[in-house]
Amino acid sequence: VSRLPSYASHQVGVAGFVLNEETEEVLMIQDKHRLVRWKFPGGLSNPGEDIQDTAMREVKEETGLQTEFKSILAFRQQHNHPGAFGCSDIYVVCRLAPLTFDLQICPAELEDARWMRVADIAASREGHSPLTLRMSKLVLRGLRKGFDRVDIAIDELPSVYNNTYKLFHRPLAS
């Protein structure tokens, strides 16, 4: 227990792994200002915004797609993040299911958006970041063996302060 006053030390960024389970394709975007690689849509949480809401909002803003939150696939902690003015960064990858399919990309932010086969990304040897590769392998495992193998599930528990809070952990079912 620290006796120092508490303070905000981390920004929270969220990405959406939007998976079409029928075609086994994932929605990838190309950023207008950082063209290097295809990546997952996403961005920073607004104050007071839940992780899963950030994921769905950013996908909607960037690509026009409405989605449904399914699970958390992974999260990363990184220190001295250059985009975070020296503070630390927590980056969460959410698995989302698309509810609409008509891509309408935000021209101010995106150069392009398209569906790509998850298996193609997972099998690629270059052109994708280690995180993109890892997430694609994880989702491919989910598609083949069931998402109960890969998901970090969400649950809501009563809080002493607020009404409830969201807790993420492996499912308790046997």
Binding site for a copy of itself (CB under 8 A): 1-12, 31, 41-45, 47-48, 50-51, 58, 62, 73-85, 87-88, 90, 109, 129-131, 134, 137-138, 141, 145, 149-152, 155, 157-162, 165-170, 172, 174
Structural contact between residues 127 and 37, judged by C-beta atoms closer than 8 angstroms: yes
Cα separation, 143 vs 70, whole angstroms:
14
Structural contact between residues 15 and 41, judged by C-beta atoms closer than 8 angstroms: yes
Distances in whole angstroms, Cα of residue 46 to Cα of each of 11, 14, 53, 89, 146? 10, 11, 10, 14, 32
**Smallest distance from the beta carbon of 55 to a copy of itself, in angstroms?**
12
Dihedral sign computed on CA atoms, order 143, 100, 76, 154 = negative
Collapsed DSSP state (helix, strand, coil) of residue 39: strand
Decide if 25 is catalytic.
no
Nearer to a copy of itself, 1 or 22 (CB): 1
Candidate list 21, 24, 61, 156, residue with the active-site label:
61
Active site residues: 61
